[in-house]
Amino acid sequence: MAPEPTTVDARPPAPDRPATRRPATRRTRQFRGPLLAFLITAGAFCAAWAARGTFPFGNTGRALNDQANQYVPFHRALWDLVHGQAAGDVLFTWRGGFGQQFLADYHTYLGNPFSWLAVLVPRAHVDLAVFAITPITMGTAAAVMTVYLGKLHPGPWWQRGVLGATYGLCGWALSDASYIPMWLWGLVALPMLGIAVEWCLEERRWPGVALLVALAWFGNFYTAMMATMAACVLLAIRMATRDMSARDRLRALWRAATATGTGILLTLPLLLPSFLSSGAAQPTGAAAFDPVRIEIFLSGMLPATHLWGGRPRLYVASLGLILAGSFVLNTAVAKRTRLVWAAATLLVVASFQFPPTQYLWHGLAVPNGNPYREAFVFSGMVVIVAWLALANRPRPLHLALVAALLVAATFVLRRTDDFGGWTWPAVLGGGALSLLALVLLRLGEKRRYLIPVAAALMIGVVFAESTVAAANADARRARERWAKPVATSNESIGNHFDAVRDVAGWPAYRTDSGAPQSAYNDALALRAEGPQYYSSYLPEATYRALEPLGYGFKNDGRTFFGADNPVLDAIFSIGARVRPGTAPNTWTAAKFPAPPLVTVRTGPYTSPNPADSVYARQENVLGATVYQVPQVTRGGTDTDQTYAAQCTPGSEAFWYSPALYGTVRAGGTRKPLEDRMTGVVPLGTVPASGRVDVTVETRTKDADAGGHPLGCLDRAALDTVVRHLTTTGATAVRPGGHTLEATLPTPAGGTAVIATTAVPGWRCSAPLKPFHGLLAVDLPAGTDTFSCTFTPKGLTPGLAGATLALMVLIGVQVTALRRRRRD
């Protein structure tokens, strides 16, 4: 068996160093570089937080956009799951969206292994754990890159550590992924797969290669796919620059292909359901890729630059850029190596600008958001080239020439849109100090006392420049309307959670947490069971069921909100609701009768009200007439529209106008309208005159409320329906993790309607039956019990594929162990 490679120590052994301590000393030295990289990276990022005064180093909220709306709530759901307080399991959650698959959400939003840190803290501090995932993951990526650089070329541990930190603190990590914990795992996956490439070239550790691939894809398949494509590029580069025979290259390719396939198969129980769930999700209107102008693209490579919107963040610290630029001039490196690495790096960055290759980087999908999500691949290659230059002692003249070119490029690009205010200090200050440190390092070959000075200077300049870059990115991003940081834990959120808990009654009835106050996924975050849900996997079936009933939504239907409407409460077994109190940071809760989760309908029903009204659609699902839908008369202007109608005095008026944005007023009630985000709105009690006057102040041009925006609810009729559905509904409902069992009062037959949407994956002991998008089964006469089980599409074949891959992995490992014993 070949001995394990060890870090080269060029120093002569000390005469008094005991021989028995050498292996332990060498093993300790192997951790110095990765530890240094981790500390620089995590420290610089946290220092930027502290400089900005953001949580937990100040009172400014830290959660940006989806971090508040998705990632913190999903981590709180993970906490509930691990601590046995979830309504559901890893396959299905009854919290949010009236019941949704959870496996794909887990794989996508909670796959980062460090996400499990959230379950180790009290639930109230889960958000702090989520924030900590960012510097920990970035630091880990820097540490793994440090190890990988050592496999490419030997060199001092501290120099590798510093360059590893420049990778962990690249522009993509600081700007794009700093608030997206799962994407950051791709930053770790790239150097991890680079190590796997080296093992393939050395024809060793095939099982280890497969496990590294699996670990990358378990963490986040989206960025792992990009890292895997980058690993293919690294493999091609290494085969082109090493002295290998054609047979050796074929063997390396075979090992890489088979190990990669086996590793991905191991993740198939998560990967395949996620892929199929994505196909069944509500479609989005993602636009075609439109590359940015070349000057904007190039300015993204300048240190401490933060471009607005969907722009590329390609930079690393000045130290890395100067070293990378000197690589092609370094004659100590073989010409073939320089040409291959330089050409590959240029081709990779050029591929970001062309639609065909851009789609390839994103798995043939159109990115919904920033299209340059693979930018970390280029930054990683820049750091690798920088290390190859540093390890081969670049000349000061070459370094000075590259530094001058960097200043010139910054001058030329200084008028680019959104040119960063901190770019000049980073280029001039950081570049000058980086150049000085590299010159001192070269002089230190003869004057050893200069090496500690150079080391301190290199560490300090990377730390300081990256801190400034991170703080600048955070500050500039916070100016954007969609990225205003918000709090994820405060007095109001705590009181909101307590109010929901005080009236919780699952599974006897659902509790609706009310309109979102802290996150679109309030139902997950607050342990409620309402319609609120925000996920890239929200099924099209859920959208088609909830949208016609008057629930508000956004993100093309992948985000749903609640609606304060008694009829919808009766349809979905909502028996408690929480609303904001009159005093700041307070909440009020109310309980009211609700049918069980399973109700029985014995015959067809069609509403007599206008079929195109939201109120008729609600009645069709409820199975009874409870609304009066009057004709309305419109007046006023385009921006100040008035509507008048006549309803039964004492009934309750409701309004629905998804085409309008503005404010609706009726009597003393004033409610905001936000297009389709606003569902059915309560307007109050109809006065004794029976006349309902509504005024809509709108900023929507050339639009009105439609033909039937007003509905007047007969509360007494609704109460009668609720009592009937309760009497004839299930006497016992037992929802499990991803199952449901119901006992019915009489075996009379009919249709059993479960208060959840008919998402793909449900199987029941009775035949499924269409019912306005809700899950329903046909009950033959004599049926008094039935059960349903949810299994994500693709889980069974995924488990079969993973089992096959595991058997192959074990077989290869056992064969290798036997061969080693024989040897």
d(CA 558, CA 659): 18
Q: Taking the mean position of all CA atoms in its chain, how far away is CA 247?
A: 42
Q: Which pLDDT does position 24 carry in this prediction?
A: 55
Cα angle value 688/721/565 (rounded, 5°): 60
pLDDT value at position 58? 83
Q: Are 111 and 220 in contact (CB under 8 A)?
A: yes
Other CB atoms within a 10 A radius of the CB of residue 23 amount to: 10
Alpha helices in 645-775 (DSSP H): 715-728
The pLDDT assigned to 6 comes to: 37
Strand partners, 417: none
> For residues 256 and 206, is the Cβ–Cβ distance under 8 A?
no
pLDDT (0 to 100) of residue 17: 40
Which uninterrupted H or E stretch holds 603? none
Q: Which residues contact 618 (CB under 8 A, 6 or more apart)?
A: 549, 550, 565, 567, 568, 571, 627
Residue type, position 400, single letter: A
pLDDT for the residue 266: 97
Q: Determine how β-strand 762-764 pairs with β-strand 739-743.
A: unpaired
Cβ of 735: how many Cβ atoms within 10 Å?
A: 21
Q: What is the CA radius of gyration of the chain?
A: 31
Other Cβ atoms within 10 Å of 39 Cβ, number: 17
Positions of the chain with pLDDT lower than 70, given as ranges: 1-28, 418, 420, 481
pLDDT number for residue 26: 66
Say yes or no: domain 722-790 is CATH 2.60.40: yes
Ordered DSSP codes for 555-602: GGGTEE-----HHHHHHTTEEEEEEE-SSTT-EEEEE-----SEEEE-
Instruction: Note whether 610 and 707 are within 8 A (CB).
Output: yes
Domain ranges of the chain: 491-590, 627-713, 722-790
Residue environment code for 197-221, b if the CB has 16+ CB neighbours within 10 A, otherwise e: bbbbbeebbbbebbbbbbbbbbbbb
Distance CA(35)–CA(38), nearest Å, equals 5
pLDDT at residue 124, rounded to an integer: 93
CA distance linking residue 368 with residue 287, whole number of Å:
7
Tokens 């901190």 found at: 422
Architecture of domain 627-713 in CATH?
Sandwich (2.60)
Helices (H) and strands (E) in the chain, counts: 29, 24
**Predicted TM-score (pTM) of this structure:** 0.93
Beta bridge partners of 559: 534, 554
Q: CB 501: neighbour CB atoms within 10 A?
A: 14
For residue 192, what are the CA distances in angstroms to 39, 146, 384?
19, 10, 13
Domains 627-713 and 722-790 share a fold: yes
CA nearest 65: which of 285, 375, 370?
A: 370
Separation between Cα atoms, residue 587 and residue 436, nearest integer Å: 60
Query: For residue 420, which of 302, 265, 503, 560 has the smallest C-alpha distance?
Result: 302
- Please state, in angstroms and as integers, the Cα–Cα distance from residue 116 to each residue in 102, 662, 780, following that order: 16, 42, 46
CA distance 152 to 167: 15
Q: Cis bond leading into 56, ω under 30°?
A: yes
Element (H, E) at 636: strand 633-636
Nearest alpha-carbon partner for 125 in 83, 76, 184, 85:
76
Main-chain dihedrals φ then ψ at residue 71, nearest 5 degrees: -70, -45
For 578, the token pair is 């929480």
Q: Which residues contact 269 (CB under 8 A, 6 or more apart)?
A: 795, 798, 799, 801, 802
- Distances in whole angstroms, Cα of residue 137 to Cα of each of 131, 189, 634, 763: 10, 11, 58, 40
Structure tokens at 732: 């016992």
Q: What letter represents residue 520's amino acid? A: Y
Beta-bridge partner residues of 778: 751
The pLDDT of residue 19: 44
In 3D, which of 75, 21, 29, 2 has the Cα closest to residue 521?
75
Q: What is the pLDDT of residue 59?
A: 80
SS3 assignment, position 223: helix
State the pLDDT at residue 766.
93
Residue-level length of the chain: 823
Query: Nearest to residue 666, comparing CAs of 632, 633, 702, 691?
Result: 691
CA geometry: angle 581, 582, 585, nearest 5 deg: 60
Note the pLDDT of residue 760.
93
Q: Output the DSSP codes for 632-651.
A: -EEEE-SSEEEEEEE--TT-
Closest CA to 656 of 757, 548, 762: 548
3-state helix, strand, coil in the chain (%, to 5): 50, 15, 35
Task: Using alpha carbons, select from 464, 357, 776 the residue that is nearest to residue 604.
Answer: 776
Q: DSSP string of 237-284?
A: HHHHHS---HHHHHHHHHHHHHHHHHHHHHTHHHHHHHHHHHHHBPP-
Instruction: Give the DSSP per-residue string, 663-695.
Output: EEEETTEEEEEEGGG---EEEEEPPTT-EEEEE
